[in-house]
């Protein structure tokens, strides 16, 4: 495939761009799917699931609803955990009638969400028979639930050799044959024709094996990226909840809610959700609502940030009870090198590297303004973002090879694909240089050299250009994304089909997106949950965030591929940094959050009691309200006007050495901002004031304050800036990043 096709594929199957209400042009008498959220009747308890379902049916098929249309309502899903309510097919008149019934909180049309590894465990420092991987028993006994396009039972990545039986708490089921001790659940909630949990796209098979695939030796694509493919938690169990399908692969939010609802009931420990919609208020966001219910049950939720970068404020899944994951590169390239007639060379990537290609110089041509491929037979064709073409098109026109230069969207993020002729995908900056050479001579020539799989790229990780960026639109006082993980050119399991597409026939495939980074973090969370079963989802998230790395393998700052200059990535791109599983296992301190702590935070967002109850499923009071930055989060997002001074507190829990003392290590803030750290009883007196956090026992909690002050006269460089601070004690360094908005 060409880079252009990759771009289209990402838009269709891996990217959060729109949350589409599919009912906007529907006829008033046509049945459409609505999600109905209810208040539980006052004083009424439902001891059995059947009692709750009977109540739902009594409302849906009541005279009030049925009488307003000739069409009969149809029940689609009945929810027990994520919301009090159901999804049903209704006419517009029936939906309006339902909305006016007593006890109904919300009736809204269903929306559609979009879908957003042989090397990556090694790159993350997970080594067989040693260290954290061995200590965590490779995630043994942990159940990872995956919401996606389905799965491929019988794939080598889902063999159950060496697997234990599912835990006794497991209540799930398999709707089709093919389950074993690895793949313990397969359920379908997508309502397409003849739909089963079997994967017909590849996305769900890929993400599942990334999180918890069993080891498979000699995994490769066309001989490249060869090695042992294994998931991050290879002894964890997998449960697939199919919520996406159709020709364009959409994910109805009614199905997403049903998938999470079932996962909670079934007994999963971790959820991996590589899909999302546009930024919206949390009470309108089904992933936010459903994941809140999961978090209340102790389930860790990892979600993709989206692939709408490099533009800012493009994130999905921004709720603070979700781990929001950005995408970065690993230290492997499937390298091809463009060699020009002026003796300059530029590295690119391609999975198709034929051994019989003659590497002689050939004429290098560039399509005209109309982009037509004329007189290209036997030549090397250069295509860039402004005049895109595919390897298939160049082959059909008789071209011998093709150079595919990224446009500004992918910029320096090169995607390795299975092209049909010799090809090299190069970055945007490299494309500019090649174009300069084309214009410098009347007889340009070029060839493509095949380097195969190259390991140990010491500039990794680099932040992928396509990865969605902050700031957080739904909650500006919470810094997102939280973390970045491997998401570029990830090799993992792929489904098989009977068509002629080489990509689909492969047992494994290399693909890219925050869809790929999300299950990496779900796998890390599974390892941590195995090692620390008493940690809450917030504690696991804190351990991941405060121990993240901000440097590459070369010990230089992680750079952002959004620009050919490869400048350091900022906090709106990488959040706390790149995940470090080994360090996250022993973070020293954690910032814990209990489910009830989110209530005053939601009140502080200005949500009404009714809106908050759509999220919490219980009565709430806003007698206590806190600003967003006061939530006990492992980062800060602070807005400051000239002369402002704002104080927030944080409470840390000791999970390290019983007797320990932490002192302030690094403090970095931008010009014009001062930061003072004190205990909760101190007043901010000046930068020289430094306090210690002393502990005498594990699980002991200590609270401290942080005061951010902006100088009334100092000029700032731009509307946003960043910084960080660390607490240090012996082997521990607990890092908290800051983002600043200057009003």
* Among the listed residues 545, 541, 544, 567, the one whose alpha carbon sits nearest the alpha carbon of residue 462: 567
Axis-axis angle for helices 537-546, 514-531 (nearest 10): 110
Q: Phi/psi of residue 4, each to 5°?
A: -65, -45
Question: Residue 347 catalytic?
Answer: no
Closest CA to 484 of 501, 466, 504, 463: 463
3-state secondary structure of 185: strand
The half-sphere exposure of 502 on its side-chain side, counting CA atoms within 13 A, is 10
Structure tokens, 655? 């999970």
With beta carbons less than 8 A apart as the criterion, state whether 522 and 272 touch.
yes
Beta strands in 127-260 (DSSP E): 143-148, 183-188, 216-221, 224-229, 237-242, 250-252
Which of the residues 2, 69, 136, 148 is marked catalytic?
148
Given 209, 214, 515, 705, the catalytic residue: 515
Q: Concatenate the DSSP letters of all residues of 681-711 into one string.
A: T-----TT---EEEESSTT-EEEEEEEEEE-
Alpha-carbon distances of 697 from 483, 585, 654, 673, 703, rounded to whole Å: 29, 18, 7, 35, 15
Active-site choice (203, 507, 509, 520): 203
Strand partners for 654: 589
Give the chain's length. 743
Locus of tokens 């400051």:
640
DSSP state at residue 548: -
Query: In the beta sheet, which residues pair with residue 557?
Result: 551
**203 is known as an active-site residue:** yes
Catalytic site includes residue 148: yes
Find, among 309, 244, 254, 301, the residue nearest to 275 by Cα: 244
CA distance 654 to 198: 45
Please tell me the distance from the alpha carbon of residue 131 to that of residue 134, in angstroms, as a whole number.
6
Q: Which residues of 672-683 are buried (b: 16+ CB within 10 A; e: fewer)?
A: bbbbbbbeeeee
Work out the end-to-end distance of the chain between its first and last CA atoms, rounded to an integer number of angstroms: 46
> b/e string for 534-569 if b means 16 or more Cβ within 10 A?
ebbbbbbbbbbbbbbbbebeeeeebbbbbebebeeb
Strand partners, 36: 86, 107
Pairing of strands 380-383, 362-365: parallel
In the chain, % helix, strand, coil (3-state, to 5) comes to 25, 30, 50
Residues 6+ apart with CB under 8 A from 241: 145, 146, 147, 148, 185, 187, 189, 259, 260, 262, 263
What's the rounded Cα separation, in Å, for the pair 69 and 60? 13
Catalytic residue positions? 148, 203, 515
């Amino acid at each position: 495939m060409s880079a252009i096709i990759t771009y289209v594929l990402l838009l269709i199957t891996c990217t959060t761009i729109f949350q589409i209400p599919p009912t906007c042009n529907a006829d008033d008498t046509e049945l459409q799917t609505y999600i109905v959220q209810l208040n539980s009747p006052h004083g009424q308890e439902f001891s059995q699931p059947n009692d709750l379902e009977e109540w739902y049916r009594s409302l849906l098929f009541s005279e009030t609803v049925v009488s307003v249309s000739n069409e009969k309502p149809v029940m689609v899903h009945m929810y027990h955990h994520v919301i009090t309510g159901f999804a049903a097919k209704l006419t517009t008149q029936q939906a309006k009638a339902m909305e006016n019934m007593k006890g109904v909180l919300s009736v809204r049309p269903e929306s559609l969400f979009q879908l957003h590894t042989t090397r990556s465990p090694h790159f993350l420092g997970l080594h067989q028979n040693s260290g954290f991987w061995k200590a965590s028993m490779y995630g043994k006994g942990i159940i990872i639930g995956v919401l996606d396009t389905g799965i491929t039972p019988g794939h080598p990545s889902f063999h159950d050799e060496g697997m234990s039986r599912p835990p006794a708490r497991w209540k799930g089921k398999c709707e089709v044959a093919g389950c074993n001790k690895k793949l313990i659940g397969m359920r379908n909630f997508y309502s397409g024709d003849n739909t089963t949990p079997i994967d017909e796209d590849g996305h769900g098979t890929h993400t599942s094996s990334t999180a918890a695939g069993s080891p498979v030796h000699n995994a490769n694509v066309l001989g490249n990226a060869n090695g042992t493919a294994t998931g991050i938690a290879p002894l964890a169990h997998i449960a697939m909840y199919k919520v996406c399908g159709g020709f364009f692969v959409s994910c109805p939010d009614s199905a997403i809610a049903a998938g999470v609802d079932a996962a909670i009931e079934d007994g999963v420990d971790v959820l991996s959700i590589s899909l999302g919609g546009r930024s919206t208020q949390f009470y309108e966001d089904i992933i936010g609502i459903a994941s809140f219910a999961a978090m209340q049950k102790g389930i860790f939720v990892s979600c993709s940030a989206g692939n709408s970068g490099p533009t800012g404020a493009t994130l999905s899944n921004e709720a603070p009870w979700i781990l929001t994951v950005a995408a970065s590169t690993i230290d492997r390239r499937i390298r091809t090198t463009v060699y020009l007639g002026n003796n300059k060379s530029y590295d690119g990537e391609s999975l198709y590297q034929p051994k019989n290609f003659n590497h002689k110089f050939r004429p290098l041509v560039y399509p005209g303004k109309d982009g037509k491929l004329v007189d290209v037979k036997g030549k090397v064709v250069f295509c860039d973002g402004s005049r895109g073409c595919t390897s298939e098109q160049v082959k059909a026109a008789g071209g011998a090879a093709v150079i595919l230069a990224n446009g500004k969207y992918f910029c320096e993020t090169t995607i390795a694909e299975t092209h049909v002729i010799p090809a090299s995908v190069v970055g945007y900056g490299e494309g500019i240089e090649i174009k300069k050479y084309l214009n410098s001579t009347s007889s340009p020539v070029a060839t493509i050299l095949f380097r195969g799989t190259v390991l140990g790229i010491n500039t990794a990780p680099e932040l992928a250009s396509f990865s969605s960026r902050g700031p957080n639109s739904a909650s500006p006082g919470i810094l997102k994304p939280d973390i970045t993980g491997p998401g570029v050119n990830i090799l993992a399991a792929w489904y098989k089909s009977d068509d002629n597409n080489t990509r689909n026939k492969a047992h494994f495939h290399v693909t890219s997106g925050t869809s790929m980074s999300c299950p990496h973090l779900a796998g890390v969370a599974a390892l941590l949950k195995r090692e620390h079963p008493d940690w809450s989802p917030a504690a696991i998230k804190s351990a991941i965030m405060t121990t993240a790395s901000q440097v590459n393998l070369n010990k230089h700052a992680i750079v952002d591929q959004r620009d050919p200059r490869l400048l350091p990535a900022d906090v709106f791109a990488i959040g706390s940094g790149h995940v470090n599983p080994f360090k996250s296992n022993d973070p020293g301190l954690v910032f814990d959050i209990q489910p009830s702590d989110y209530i005053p935070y939601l009140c502080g967002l200005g949500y009404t009691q009714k809106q908050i109850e759509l999220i919490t499923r219980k009565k709430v009071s806003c007698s206590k309200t806190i600003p967003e930055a006061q939530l006990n989060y492992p980062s800060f997002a602070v807005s400051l006007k000239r002369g402002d001074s704002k104080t927030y507190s944080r409470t840390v829990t000791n999970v390290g050495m019983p007797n320990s003392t932490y002192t302030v290590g690094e403090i970095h803030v931008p010009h014009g901002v001062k930061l003072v750290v004190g205990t909760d009883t101190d007043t901010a007196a000046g930068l020289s004031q430094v306090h210690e956090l002393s502990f005498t026992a594990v699980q002991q909690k200590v609270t401290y304050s942080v005061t951010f002050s902006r100088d009334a006269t100092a000029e700032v460089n731009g509307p946003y800036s960043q910084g960080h601070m660390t607490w240090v004690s012996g082997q521990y360094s607990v890092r908290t990043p800051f983002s600043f908005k200057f009003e």
